[in-house]
Structure 1
Amino acid sequence: MSSAAGSVPTSRIRWRRGRVSATGRSWRDALELTVEVPGDGELQALAYPSLVGVPEVGDDVLLNTTALAQNLGTGGYALVVAVPDRLPPDPEIPGHLVKARYTPLQVTVQGVDEQDTEHHAAIAAADDLAGMPVVVADLHSALPAVLIGMLATDPDLRVAYVMTDGGALPAAFSRAVGALKNSLAGVVTVGQAFGGDLEAVTLHTGLLAAKHVLNADLAIVTQGPGNLGTGTPWGFSGVAAGEACNAVSVLGGLPVGALRISDADPRPRHRGVSHHSLTAFGRVALGGVSLVAPRGLSSELGGQVDEDLAGQPERNVVVWVDTDGLDTALGLSPVPLRTMGRGYPEERAYFLAAAAAGRYAALQVPLPEDAEKEPAALGTSD
């Protein structure tokens, strides 16, 4: 809607200026701050040092408080836009890919697929994932549980995380990614997302980089933290999970769907198998996807999972996976397991389904001839 001639348009950003009174936790490329803001009191803020420098106690900072004012669950911080009186030096890093393009905080990164990188030739020649299993999940909160399922099955596997741009754009916003760093072969940020160990223009080149640069055996694809949903059939950022499965299929990988299953969510559309999973995997993933459910879970939920998955198209196979040991592994998670404000075991069905998808994918990775695997159980009912 255009503003009337001569009128001042309403800002879409809540701007504040304050002074840093304390610094807090730091991880990856993120630093927590306490900022005293006139009229608002003390606010918790987050700075990305690679973008704005390192704020110190006593610095004046310019803040964006838009998400904080709306009380968004994931966006519980004021975000530091600049330290105006102590700007960081100009960047000296190579690269000409621009992400968060044409926003006031657009950043330049070096893409794994651009011409001036050591990996350009490998990415230019790569056209296939050679059957690499890729677990695709709707929500970022599934990431640690999927990884737990993979490494509980085979701790020697190399797992790459490919982060899409449906949620947070900076990978540094995710404390889970920072805490899981030593368990991952690397992080690839694709599309408008940035801050991974490797940057890629598209999900396709990000997947190829996971396989041919990071030498991953497996990959996990999710959006960053901060799922966007509107309560409408198609208006949610997780619909891109279906498109991610299409990318995996096109590149000759094995798409594996981590189902969003809940018996704790108060919203009917997310009870049992969420409509997000049914839409993204059942209607958008046209190349087919293996949908993984924990064996025994449907019975625990009164047969609802069976009922919800009964209408899947023929191209999708429903896989029931034994979960022996996964509850124990989830209970030992190195990061807190939380989704939509609820943790484990309150959301046991959700995290167990994610871990089962990780286990199934791990079982599809070829092993040396002298090694053996237990086959995953296939079936159309629990």
Structure 2
Amino acid sequence: MIRWRKGTVEGIRREWPGAVELDVVIGDDGAHRALAYPDLVGRPEPGDTVLLNTTALALGLGTGGYAMVVAVPDRLPPDPAGPGHLVKARYTPLQATVLGADEQDSPHHEVLRDADSLGGMPVVIADLHSALAPILAGLLAARPGARIVYLMPDGGALPSWFSMSIARLKDAGALAATVTAGQAFGGDLEAVTVHTGLLAARLVLDADAVVLAQGPGNLGTGTKWGFSGVSAGEAVNAASVLDGRPVASLRVSEGDKRERHIGVSHHSLTAYGRVALARADVPVPELGGAFGARVAAGAAPLGDRHTLVPVPVDGLHDTLRAAEKDWGVRLSTMGRRLDEDLAYFLTAAAAGRHTAALLG
């Protein structure tokens, strides 16, 4: 299940809040990319011996194809200090305690203890982490200064630190804060469930809107139900039961080589058409041409359960290009850049544009 190796840190490649990317020499295999989370394992330095989990490296995974640093035996981090008894990554060798916004020792416990409503706050829900930046771009272009919080459940990466996009979006001021829910951790606030994560975003972080999408590393099996994005449908239900305004962003592609994802992905049709029991707004981008007609026809069955909202995409290509430049965020989905799968990014940006209209 786990491929264990020892390695020696050759050098530091780059770092961002919560993570350090390294070159690590592993036996006779030469140097490989490795990733360490200093808050969990300590900060490795060149020359250090590190214990590694090389499973993802051996599998050749795209998003997470690193050797993961499990421990720096000669440079252990200090013991945690302060309150916090929420255990995340529970009953794994790297289980960690954090202070949950909703737990009894939290300064926010009184606010959240009986909280039960988002007061109509829009919650934009997407399947993939790569939708986060384009949703923000479409939203903030129409409503600059809006306070947007990202809620990360545990469908993909568990540490929010894995995402360079989060760090850059926060640095650029596009993202106000992050809440990590379930087994996910590393956000500005921690929450036990998506429900308390939404309430914390609204009542503690004063969010105008929330973007809810799994972290990097979508898991799929090529089956109708075996993909981590099923949680997008469950998120619609959570937002609705808390008196929020769910906005279901479609996953659309014209560049994916897999037929099941061309046009409106089967992921969206299953999550929103079968799992989501509450009503949501479903922005349908007006892409034009034959492909635009295919997207509209693919989304049509969702109209039996949800409110389909046609959204113009004029100007959004320029908006996305500007966001990529100004925020320093690389727009990419499944290895495809902005102009290699423009429909994907326009669709996410259209969901942001529609959400901005709800804030008016």
TM superposition score category, shorter chain reference: over 0.9
1:98 to 87, 98, 101: 87
Report what 2:181 is aligned to: 190
2:213 to 219, 222, 225: 222
Aligned counterparts of 2:100 and 2:153: Cα–Cα separation in 1? 15
Describe the superposition over 1:331-374 as per-residue Cα deviations: whole angstroms up to 9, x where unpaired.
Answer: 122201000110101111000000000110111014xxxxxxxx
Report what 1:318 is aligned to: 308
- Does 2:263 correspond to 1:269? no
2:236 to 229, 245, 249: 245
Aligned counterparts of 2:58 and 2:141: Cα–Cα separation in 1? 41
2:102 to 113, 117, 121: 113
CA contact (8 A) 2:160 2:215 kept: yes
Once the two structures are superposed, the pairs formed by residues 68-147 of structure 1 within 5 Å of their partners are: 68-147=57-136
Aligned AA for 1:206? Answer: G
Aligned counterparts of 1:210 and 1:363: Cα–Cα separation in 2? 20
Aligned counterparts of 1:249 and 1:302: Cα–Cα separation in 2? 29
Report what 2:55 is aligned to: 66
1:304 to 280, 294, 309: 294
Aligned counterparts of 1:338 and 1:111: Cα–Cα separation in 2? 32
CA contact (8 A) 2:284 2:299 kept: no
Aligned counterparts of 1:156 and 1:37: Cα–Cα separation in 2? 47
User: Could you tell me how far 1:313 is from its partner in structure 2?
Assistant: 4.7
User: Could you tell me how far 1:302 is from its partner in structure 2?
Assistant: 5.7
CA contact (8 A) 2:273 2:305 kept: no
Q: Which runs of 5+ in 1 are unaligned?
A: 1-11, 367-382
- Does 2:13 correspond to 1:24? yes
User: Could you tell me how far 1:39 is from its partner in structure 2?
Assistant: 2.2
Distance change >3 Å, CA 299–CA 317, structure 1 → 2:
farther
Aligned counterparts of 1:95 and 1:171: Cα–Cα separation in 2? 18
CA contact (8 A) 1:171 1:193 kept: yes
Aligned counterparts of 1:221 and 1:234: Cα–Cα separation in 2? 20
Task: Specify the SS of the correspondent of 2:190.
Answer: strand
**Structure ranking higher in helix proportion:** 2
> What is the Cα-based RMSD across aligned positions, in Å?
1.0
User: Could you tell me how far 1:314 is from its partner in structure 2?
Assistant: 2.5
Report what 1:373 is aligned to: none
In percent, how many aligned pairs have the same letter?
A: 61
Task: Specify the SS of the correspondent of 2:231.
Answer: helix
Report what 2:225 is aligned to: 234
Q: Which runs of 5+ in 2 are unaligned?
A: none
Aligned counterparts of 1:194 and 1:266: Cα–Cα separation in 2? 33
Aligned AA for 1:54? Answer: R
Aligned AA for 2:234? Answer: E
Report what 1:278 is aligned to: 269
Task: Specify the SS of the correspondent of 2:317.
Answer: helix
CA contact (8 A) 1:298 1:304 kept: no
User: Could you tell me how far 1:75 is from its partner in structure 2?
Assistant: 1.1
CA contact (8 A) 1:129 1:253 kept: yes
Aligned AA for 2:295? Answer: V
Could you say which structure has the larger radius of gyration? 1
CA contact (8 A) 1:298 1:305 kept: no
Aligned counterparts of 1:121 and 1:78: Cα–Cα separation in 2? 42
User: Could you tell me how far 1:215 is from its partner in structure 2?
Assistant: 0.4
Once the two structures are superposed, the pairs formed by residues 346-357 of structure 1 within 5 Å of their partners are: 346-357=340-351
Aligned counterparts of 1:105 and 1:211: Cα–Cα separation in 2? 30
CA contact (8 A) 2:132 2:213 kept: yes
Task: Specify the SS of the correspondent of 2:201.
Answer: helix
1:164 to 141, 153, 169: 153
Provide the TM-score with structure 1 as the length reference.
Answer: 0.91
Provide the TM-score with structure 2 as the length reference.
Answer: 0.97
